[in-house]
Structure 1
């Protein structure tokens, strides 16, 4: 089981967000292997944490910020991000991040 699902135009990534973290970081896969843990320093107010998560994921994958958006869970710590791009390349980059 992986934290992402391939789509023809990219992939959907399940993340668990830790807002107000001391330092931003990727925590690897959660114990169930179905979500990627992401810590951001921003507070979950006015969408700041959502923007920070999207920017962090885009930066880690070498993509523009506009390639990552919150698909589900805008007010929850459990989110699904829609990432546009080549699905095979994105999957390989995520494998590298979670290894």
Structure 2
């Protein structure tokens, strides 16, 4: 993990499972208690209780990858997305879906 405000992290395990953990509502509440500002420091993030359950880690990583894909698909329906092709509501109105 890097210091100061450079937002970057590395890990030896599956980064998707770590991503799922740090974006959970549980971590949101813990970070609100540890750091009431919007800027989190390395020590505060490092103090989070990350317990790796190797049996469920792949299941968590799979769910996070699916959520990332859903988010990308949703974003690509926006006209400001670089991968925008057509609005799904317009396609639905034209009977193409």
User: What TM-score range do you get, normalising by the shorter chain?
Assistant: under 0.3
| Larger RCO (alpha carbons 8 Å, 6+ apart) | 1
Give 1 or 2: higher strand fraction.
1
Higher helix proportion (structure 1 or 2) = 2
Q: What is the TM-score with the length of structure 1 in the denominator?
A: 0.24
Q: TM-score, normalised by structure 2?
A: 0.25
Decide which structure has the larger Cα Rg and report it. Answer: 2
